[in-house]
Amino acid sequence: MDRSARTRACAAAAAGALVLTGCSGGSQNAEHTGNTAAGQTSPPVSGTGAGTGLEQQYEKVVDAVLPSVVKIQTDQGEGSGVVFDAQGDIVTNAHVVAGAKRIEVTSSGGGSPAKASMVGAFAADDLAVVRVSGGSLKPASWGESGKARVGQIVLAMGNPLGLSGSVTNGIVSALHRTVSTKGEGSFQGSTIADAIQTSADINPGNSGGALVTLDGQVIGIPTAAASDPQIGAAAPGIGFATPSDTVKRIVPQLIASGKVSNSGRAALGVAVRTIVDPQTGRRSAVAVVEVQKGGGAAKAGIVPGDLILSVNGTATPDQTALTTVLANLKPGDTVKVEVQKSNGSKQQVQVTLGQLPGGG
């Protein structure tokens, strides 16, 4: 979503649109001044009531939180980040920095970019941490996404289309979404459980930024925008954020060791690949390529070459479907797994789920 070529093209288009809008608006204003005497201007309208209070609250939140939101540029593209602590640790999406050989961070207020180093990433939740040495970055205030409410007003802060320090507004549209993102380049893709759906606009470059309540609390990291397959473009007003409760569980582990030892995510204990019918191109199942020794699948008698057809009655025609089912389960849960053996026979086995390991 944040690849450099696409972002540069979008940024150029956006800049052009801004210029055209300004010229068009100026022409219309010149033509509609007949009711005002020459040389006079209409008096400003005084803001009153709830509208003014809400506007003032927006301004307070932006003033408080935007200094904690940074622009991240790499040799692969660009995105956003949120300052996690006073030691210079910055949270972003794993897909923003995946495969990057150069990472630079710029304050939302501008200034010279600072070099950043990679601390660690956990692709399963699309989270990463980069670190800047020196400077005086302001940590954000992290809220509890578990207390978010549908209809709650939120602001998305980041650097969409290269426009640093941009803010959009919307509401929490839904909670507890399970969202899968596609792999791209060095990023393998992710499946995020408990994602927050929001109507606040999320565009390329917003990834890794902040989803903020009117209390100034960051409750999510904008990660993905829905696309409409019929028109092949983004679906307006449908974006998703990784919840702050996940951030607060994963990020301290990355900061401490560069890895995640307690992911909180369920795993079967297998490595799989998707089976595609060469005649129809249809995905029908996932094939077990490797079985973790001593893991839940191994104990249940699953072996390499078996096909996993379903988990707890939910069909698993591809890896994304399997990952989505597991994302809504917990380590220690016992599930029914339908497998097809190499001789074509089918059977149901019970698997006690283990924990998804975290990489560095």
Q: CB neighbours of 141 closer than 8 A, spacing ≥ 6? A: 64, 65, 216, 217, 218
CA 21 to each of CA 26, 28, 33, 73, 180: distance values in angstroms, whole numbers, following the listed order: 8, 11, 19, 28, 36
pLDDT score for 219? 98
Tell me the C-alpha distance between 22 and 143, whole Å: 38
CA 212 to each of CA 60, 64, 157: distance values in angstroms, whole numbers, following the listed order: 12, 11, 8
pLDDT score for 309? 95
pLDDT score for 119? 97
Tell me the C-alpha distance between 78 and 105, whole Å: 10
Is there a catalytic annotation at residue 126?
Answer: yes
pLDDT score for 48? 57
pLDDT score for 31? 35
- Per-residue pLDDT tens for 23-35? 223 333 333 333 4
Domain positions in the chain are 1-25+51-261, 266-355
HEC string for 103-120: EEEEECCCCCCEEEEEEE
Pick the catalytic residue from 80, 95, 125, 164. Answer: 95
User: Cα dihedral angle (142, 148, 152, 153), rounded to 10 degrees?
Assistant: 20
pLDDT score for 246? 97
Pick the catalytic residue from 207, 244, 263, 310. Answer: 207
Tell me the C-alpha distance between 156 and 94, whole Å: 18
- Per-residue pLDDT tens for 124-151? 999 999 999 877 899 999 999 999 999 9
pLDDT score for 135? 74
pLDDT score for 7? 37
Is there a catalytic annotation at residue 207?
Answer: yes
According to CATH, the superfamily of the domain at 266-355 is PDZ domain (2.30.42.10)
Q: Any alpha helices (H) in 233-317, and if so which ranges?
A: 244-257, 296-299
Pick the catalytic residue from 126, 194, 201, 306. Answer: 126
Q: Comparing 1-25+51-261 with 266-355, is the CATH topology the same?
A: no
Tell me the C-alpha distance between 316 and 324, whole Å: 9
pLDDT score for 16? 33
pLDDT means per 10 residues in the chain (360 residues)? 40 29 28 40 55 91 97 95 96 96 92 94 96 89 97 96 93 96 88 95 94 98 86 82 97 96 94 86 89 95 96 93 93 96 95 82
Instruction: Encode burial over 286-318: b for 16+ CB neighbours within 10 A, e otherwise.
Output: bbbeebeeebbbbebebeeebbbbbbeeeebbb
Q: Which two tokens stand for residue 77?
A: 């593209």
pLDDT score for 176? 95
Q: Is 45 exposed, middle or buried (0-12, 13-18, 19+ CB in 10 A)?
A: exposed
Choices 3.40.120.10, 3.40.50.2000, 2.40.10.120, 2.40.50.140: CATH for 1-25+51-261: 2.40.10.120
pLDDT score for 30? 34
Q: Do 308 and 339 contact (CB within 8 A), yes or no?
A: yes
The pairing of beta strand 218-228 with beta strand 233-243: antiparallel
Is there a catalytic annotation at residue 95?
Answer: yes
Q: Which two tokens stand for residue 194?
A: 């408990």
